[in-house]
Amino acid sequence: MNKIKNQARPVFPFTAIIGQEEMKLALVLNVIDPKIGGVMIMGDRGTGKSTTIRAIADLLPEIEVVSDDIFNSHPYDYDTMSDFVKQQIENKIDLTTQFVKVPMVDLPLGATEDRLCGTIDIEKALNEGIKSFEPGLLAKANRGILYVDEVNLLDDHLVDILLDSAASGWNTVEREGISIRHPARFVLVGSGNPEEGELRPQLLDRFGMHAEIRTVKDPSLRVQIVEQRTKFDQDPYLCIDEFYDKQNELKQSILLAQKKLTHVVIDYDLKVKISQICSILNVDGLRGDIVTNRAAKAFAAYQNKDEVDIDDVKTIITLCLRHRLRKDPLDTIDSGTKVSKVVNEVLV
C-alpha cells in the first residue's frame, strides 16, 4: 500500500474501466507487439479515451534503461539504443542501468516541429565542434507511449513526422549540414472526435488499428461507470488497492505474451484467407494484411496459445481493416459492418 501511495498522482486502474472493450483490446495488443503500428481511437467526447490510455501506461511493468541517457536506451537491444550508448559498449565501458516507469508522453496540439523532434545547437557545434542536441518529445517517448489527443486537428506535417518515426523507429534531425539521429520506438496512440473532422485516408492507413467507441446507452451500465469513477475520486488509493491483484494479473499476462510472441505461428491457409478478405474489401496496399497477421499473433500470445485460429482472426480483423476501406460518400453501411460481412463469408 505504501508503495502505491508514493505515486505523484494516482491513476485510474486499467482493470477498473467498464466497457469500451475494443479500445482496451487494441491498446493491450499494441503493448504486446508495438510493431502493430499504434491505435487510432475515434469516439464521442467523455467516453474515457484519455483515462484508458493513461491507465495502460501506468499498468505496464517498469523497463530497464541506461542511467543518464536522454533516450531511455535499452542496455542490450541495439534497435532501441542511442549511438552514444553503442559507442560506450564498443569501447567496453561498463553501463549503469536503472528501472523506470514506461514513458507516457502527451503531444500538445500547439506543438512545433522543434518541440516534437528536438533541436541542434548550431552555435555550439560551430564554435566548440560539439554536437549539442536538445531532445524533443520523440526522444522522451522512446520505448514508451506517445499520445496525441485530437490527432485529427494536428497539423498534417507533424502527423507525417510522427507516423514516419513510429514506422521506422528512428528520428533524424538535420540542420545546416549537421545530422543527429536517435531511436524513437513507441506505441503511437491518437484519439479524436469524428465530428471535428476525419484524418486524411493516407494518414489513417498508417495507424495499425482503429477502435471506435460510442457513449454507453444502457442506463444501469452508465450508473455502474459513474459509481466506479466517484469511488476513485473519493479515495483513489483504496480503489487502486482494490484492483491491485487484477492489475498484477493483467501485467503478468502481458509479460508472458511478449515472451511468447516470437513462437506463435499462423497456418498458411489462414494467411491466405486473411489476404483474401483484404482483396475482396479492396484494401489498398499490403499494410492491412501485415497488421492483421501481427495482431492475430499478439492476440493468440495474449491467450497463451501457440497457434492462431479462426476465432483469433475474427476478434481482431475489424480493428485492423475498418479504417482502410475506400470511403463512398453515398454508402450507408458502416465500414465495420462491411468487414464483418466479408469475414463471416470467408472464415467459416
Please, are residues 40 and 204 in contact by the beta-carbon 8 Å criterion?
yes
**188 closest CA partner among 173, 199, 176, 175:** 199
3-class SS letters over 175-208: ECCEEEEEECCEEEEEEECHHHCCCCHHHHCCCC
Give catalytic status of residue 185 as yes or no: no
Q: Distance (Å, rounded) from C-alpha 232 to C-alpha 235? A: 5
- Inter-CA distances, 271 with 286, 288, 291, 339, Å: 13, 12, 12, 16
Helix (H, G, I), strand (E, B) or coil at 319: helix
Cell output for 330? 453515398
> Any long-range contacts for 221-226 (C-beta under 8 Å, 24+ apart)?
221/18, 221/19, 224/18, 225/18, 225/19, 225/48
Closest CA to 312 of 301, 322, 321: 301
From the candidates 143, 185, 206, 287, which is the catalytic residue? 287
Active site residues: 287
